[in-house]
Structure 1
Amino acid sequence: MKTKKNIYINTIGCQMNVYDSGRISSLLAAENYTPVSSFENADLVIVNTCAIREKAVQKVHSFLGRMQALKKKKPFLTVVVAGCVAQQQGAALIERFPQVNIVLGTHAIDQLPDLLRRVKADGQPIVEVALTETIHEHPAHSVIPSVDREVTGFVTIMRGCDNYCTYCVVPYVRGREISRKPESIIAEIRAMVQCGVKEITLLGQNVNSYGVKQGLTSFPELLARVNDIEGLERIRFVTSHPKDLSDQLIASFGRLNKLCNHIHLPVQSGANPVLKRMNRKYTREAYLEKIDKLRRVSPAIAISTDFIVGFPGETDADFNDTIDLMKTVKFDSLFAFEYSDRPEAPAARFSDKIPSDVKYQRLQTLLDLQKEITTQNHAALIGQVFPVLIEGESKNQMKKPEAGIIELSGRTSENRIVNFAIPSDSLLDMDDLKGQIMNIRIEKAFLNSLRGIAVENQTEFLKPKRRHSHVA
């Protein structure tokens, strides 16, 4: 009988890392590892890392410093560094942080159980960072324990990137694009739905190019197949590269009833000279044309984006073009960052860097404008009714529960957070409520969320869900 052991996973970075951490947890559940909420109680600590920005790398190094102190107290503790920093820094991590036992590259997740056995047997650190040209088609049930009883889930449909934007390290740490077989993806989603998942987010560095290199089903065709899965309520996807956003995919927002009315379409800059130096392979005009097509198909579609400010060579005029594009599109939300050099990325060698104070000021200007736009967008929603998928208790309910009511939180199809209260009912517990879709009328608008009231009487509308057994 295998000895029971505790595992703590610290996930830093994108949704793909969240998915990979779920895979790791599932793999190690078969090795009798149980997740714990504190690394002090763990026998195995894994930090799943992100190398996209310097701040994320600093978080990794800080965490590993804490592991050095913990390992002095617990010499038999095993420490694993996984993800993009592991892939990028390799053996240098062990040289700098000798408390690390395994450096697990982005293509080596499925080797982890064997690597742990090797470390236990001989005590020698292991670095496994080889990039492969194949993608592991894990069994449909292999990620289920990590999402059991959850309403939303992630499914990776492809790995790697072939775009080579000059600021980005993804092709170097995740490898070239390779897509999973559609049958494997569909089987995994069906298994998750049987465990109660209602909303799936399909993940890839550039989902729009899914299947192209291998001659597989196209991404719009894959979406149509996922849309046919019984019991699934909603479909989302990230991330889309604007140059590969096809008319067929745009049309999917009008054809597929389960596809959420939201798209994340990173633009990075509103200036053509900057886009060219970034190697984004589209122009400002082409981006705006795709926004126009999306809104013709679905007028109320929510559009979010990414911006990098202070890219090398960005002039005041270039930044003003970015501001002008924001005012034109009126994005629902965005992620914005100051440019920072990344090892291996070509832009790190560009000589015309922007001073830190200029980058900071441009970022604040951009964020202030987005606050105004979001405030206006949200205010326009007051009085409207939206179907909201209940994800669980609101933060307010968890902090300050109020007698006689339960405050819930969920998201609209447009990916807006909505909080609302209903009378508590002893016949309905949280497992009954999670995953239900209720029509909510918006009464108040805030910067990061909305507040509303249920249109229906919940005692008539909500019905206890069938309890889902685990699929093995």
Structure 2
Amino acid sequence: MKDYSKYFNGPSLKEARSRGKEDIKHIENAFEIPPDMVNIGQGQFYHIKTYGCQANERDSETLAGILEMMGYQPTDDIHKANVVLLNTCAVRENAEEKVFGKIGYLKTVKKTNPNIIFGICGCMTQEEVVVNKILAKYPQVDMIFGTHNLHRLPQLLKSAMLEKEMVLEVWSKEGDVIENLPSHRASKTKAWVNIMYGCNKFCTYCIVPYTRGKERSRLKEEILDEVRQLVADGYQEITLLGQNVNSYGLDLDEDYSFANLLEDVAKTGIPRIRFTTSHPWDFTEAMADVIAKYDNIMPYIHLPVQSGNSEVLKTMGRKYTREQYLALFDMLKRKIPGVAITTDIIVGFPNETDEQFEHTLDVVRYCKYDNAFTFIFSARPGTPASRMHDSIDMETKRKRLAKLNKTWNDLALEKNKAYVGRTVTVLVDGLSKKNEKVYSGYTDTQKLVNFKGENIQPGDFVEVKITEAKSFSLDGVAV
């Protein structure tokens, strides 16, 4: 067996699991570019492939900003790139399979361009089993780094250029918040704004608390300064990001909650505010009141239920019952006019019975979600659920997923049909990816609208009359 002891900077699942009470540091000067790396990328190109959630997309914007500070320019052509980074996701097995497929493909790319620097980062690299697999089977990888040390990219890149062996630096435990990092925003009209990092919930199926570390809130002044700058730069919409935004501020020594932050962000005047993701455990009536009070906080909430059965929820470690979730759902519908609610659902959790699955369908029929992200349970190594005996065969799980999808799709179509004939305000993203004669954008309730119009620009607010409804989108004409 290969000796991995020399890779002393690799991840440790045991260390990532621990949650200490040490103070969280907010550091404003941790990022620096070594003098000999300042212009190292002049005339060269970088390519970043991002997998997974919005947090990864925001991290990729930071990585892009760092590379551009060193002189590199972006390219969509991986064969043209001098630096290639895969920013990975570990939430489900199929996401990891896609990454390993891409790593295998890059072996051929490296044969034609042996000087290319090829790096893997993100949540997958926080897993010991993944890193050991890369070390053993994928020598084409030049550097591996994790979610906690993105700001170290210039130093890691320098080491990869100078050293003949793979560069590995993955911090398993992190308690700091690094500010003042550069960024290349993917959009000129919509922006992600991190308000916190990490998660302390430890749902039994989820790897995120291990890959993202403990909950760490940014200071409100840093967040509000960033939002004010986005307003000054002409941004029309922001999304406040956290693994569980409802926990914002719990780690700070002050009486300032997510509801307080939402209100202060609304007062900046940014036209549209969204946030994700919300754990039902921490959603308060104060938050609902603030959302209802301000027109620029969108009436849209992503509220993962995961299962509609209380016993399964308990085994999942979700810390709420079916009844508590439905009470929260009813409160949000009562307090926030016209609110749209979307969800996540896992089918085939270990030993889920037919009756328990039917309870999930009952919840879906009751809530009539505007959208749902549904998955077959995927065991993540190192999580408690991965060690559970599972009596359900894959064919049963697939049938349940198909039944669930048909149920919520039919209900979503029924809801969307209510929009036909109405005129809605759409924030335009640009031309549709599927039809260059059609524009696309989103309503306040996060409904995708494809519509016909003329002389329209990304970032415009356009009144659109809806003419047709589909399960996942609406069609219309600009008024």
Tell me, yes or no, whether TM beats 0.5. yes
In structure 1, what is the Cα distance between the partners aligned to 2:156 and 2:272? 37
SS in 1 for 2:120: strand
Match of 2:443 in 1: 412
Structure 1 residues 42-69: Cα deviation after superposition (integer angstroms, max 9, x where no partner): 1110000001000000011000001111
Structure 1 residues 98-119: Cα deviation after superposition (integer angstroms, max 9, x where no partner): 1111111110100011110112
Match of 1:437 in 2: 461
Q: How does 1:20-59 map to 2 (within 5 A)?
A: 20-59=59-98
Match of 1:165 in 2: 203
Structure 1 residues 156-176: Cα deviation after superposition (integer angstroms, max 9, x where no partner): 111111000000001111111
Match of 1:355 in 2: 393
SS in 2 for 1:19: helix
Amino acid at match of 1:69: T
In structure 2, what is the Cα distance between the partners aligned to 1:396 and 1:28? 31
Per the TM alignment, residue 133 of structure 1 is displaced from its structure 2 partner at its CA by 3.5
Structure 1 residues 222-266: Cα deviation after superposition (integer angstroms, max 9, x where no partner): 111111113x21011110000100111111221122111100000
In structure 2, what is the Cα distance between the partners aligned to 1:367 and 1:80? 37
Which of residues 80, 88, 102 is equivalent to 2:143? 102
Per the TM alignment, residue 183 of structure 1 is displaced from its structure 2 partner at its CA by 1.2
SS in 2 for 1:80: strand
Whether the 8 Å CA contact 2:177–2:216 is kept in 1: the answer is no
Which of residues 466, 470, 474 is equivalent to 1:446? 470
In structure 1, what is the Cα distance between the partners aligned to 2:308 and 2:297? 28
SS in 2 for 1:114: helix
Whether the 8 Å CA contact 1:52–1:342 is kept in 2: the answer is yes
In structure 1, what is the Cα distance between the partners aligned to 2:315 and 2:324? 16
Amino acid at match of 2:202: Y
Match of 2:259 in 1: 220
State whether structure 2 residue 275 is matched by structure 1 residue 237: yes
Amino acid at match of 2:112: K
CA RMSD, Structure 1 to Structure 2 (Å): 1.5
The range that moved more, 255-264 or 115-124, is: 115-124
Whether the 8 Å CA contact 2:299–2:337 is kept in 1: the answer is no
Q: How does 1:63-462 map to 2 (within 5 A)?
A: 63-88=102-127, 89-139=130-180, 142-143=182-183, 145-147=184-186, 150-216=188-254, 217-230=256-269, 232-398=270-436, 401=437, 407-424=438-455, 433-455=457-479
Note the residue ranges of structure 1 that are not aligned, 5 or more in a row. Answer: 402-406, 425-429, 456-472
How many aligned positions are there?
Answer: 437
Amino acid at match of 1:32: G
Percentage of identical aligned residues: 38
The range that moved more, 388-397 or 342-351, is: 388-397
**When the two structures are superposed, what TM-score results if normalisation uses the length of structure 2?**
0.88
In structure 2, what is the Cα distance between the partners aligned to 1:395 and 1:247? 39
Match of 2:46 in 1: 7
Whether the 8 Å CA contact 1:311–1:353 is kept in 2: the answer is no
In structure 2, what is the Cα distance between the partners aligned to 1:213 and 1:353? 40
CA shift in 2, pair 1:356/1:185, >3 Å: same
Per the TM alignment, residue 91 of structure 1 is displaced from its structure 2 partner at its CA by 4.5
**When the two structures are superposed, what TM-score results if normalisation uses the length of structure 1?**
0.90
Per the TM alignment, residue 382 of structure 1 is displaced from its structure 2 partner at its CA by 1.1
Per the TM alignment, residue 442 of structure 1 is displaced from its structure 2 partner at its CA by 1.4
